[in-house]
Amino acid sequence: MPVSDSVDREAVGDARQADREGLPINELFYSLQGEGTLAGVPSVFVRTSGCNLRCWFCDSYHTSWEPTHAWMSLEEILAEVGSHPADHVVLTGGEPLLHEESVDLLEALDERGYHTTVETNGTLYREAPIDLASISPKLESSTPTSDRDPRGDGEWAERHENDRIDLEALSALVEDYDFQLKFVVTDEGDVPEILELLEELRDATSDPIRDDDVLLMPEGATRERLAETRSRVAELAMEYGFRYTPRLHVDLWNDAPET
């Protein structure tokens, strides 16, 4: 997946990259939200580059395994966002909360009246005007063991496994923001870990976590893969009383960039 065509790498210049002003932007585009409680809502997606985890099935490979990006100032990002007919902005990645400048962007979007969703893996917390924290804790099945590492060397397996859950950060996100807990699920083998994590998180926070706040999403970045996982994941959502979330962008556009 290339850096978004809407991101002009020549315009941002080498000097800005050197002093890290602004944000590393992999894609900036207008589409439909494909996942979660706001699925189907026209939104502008601001996809930052860089991630502290390495899920083997990452559907944003060029923000994590092989990061690509251009550096954009907040003014450039806001101008591009404003050129699209949407009231919703999704700050995603990679892991957007890696970057301190994400807070500045969220504050500027809030001042302009946008609804903001932040898609995060839940291992980091920042105080910012976030309308919806879309938290996707990574299960053991996401770990890039040597047999499923995209690069085949298993180099990230131990680090990913050690860092993929941060109960303190998860608790803070749940307590401070409207949230949804969105789990990528392959099959029923993932459910015991979800139930255990929910129990731990409910014990760690004073805020209620309803089953309705928990979304099961089928693993799959292509239509072909979703065809293998979605029916079973939908059945699991019904069996355990959680919500099922589709991946509309995959159904509509397969694995095309900027969708």
Write the DSSP string, 142-191.
GS--TTT-TTSS-TTHHHHHHHS--HHHHHHHHHHS-EEEEEEESSGGGH
Topology annotation, domain 9-253: TIM Barrel (3.20.20)
CA distance linking residue 54 with residue 96, whole number of Å: 14
Domain boundaries along the sequence of the chain: 9-253
- Who wins on pLDDT, 15 or 211? 211
pLDDT at position 122: 98
Closest to 157 (Cα-Cα) out of 165, 172, 166, 147:
147
Q: What's the chain's average pLDDT?
A: 92
| 7 token code pair | 């991101």
**Strand 115-120 and strand 179-185: pairing?**
unpaired
* Residue pLDDT, tens place only, 127-179: 999 999 999 999 999 999 988 888 888 899 999 999 999 999 999 999 999 99
pTM of the model: 0.92
CA distance linking residue 87 with residue 181, whole number of Å: 23
pLDDT at position 20: 63
| 253 token code pair | 């556009």
CA-CA-CA-CA torsion sign (150, 154, 155, 161)? positive
Q: Tokens 């979703």 correspond to what residue?
A: 226
For the chain, what's the residue count? 259
- Who wins on pLDDT, 22 or 16? 22
Ranges 30-34, 169-173, 203-207: which has the least confidence = 203-207
pLDDT at position 18: 42
* Residue pLDDT, tens place only, 117-140: 999 999 999 999 999 999 999 999
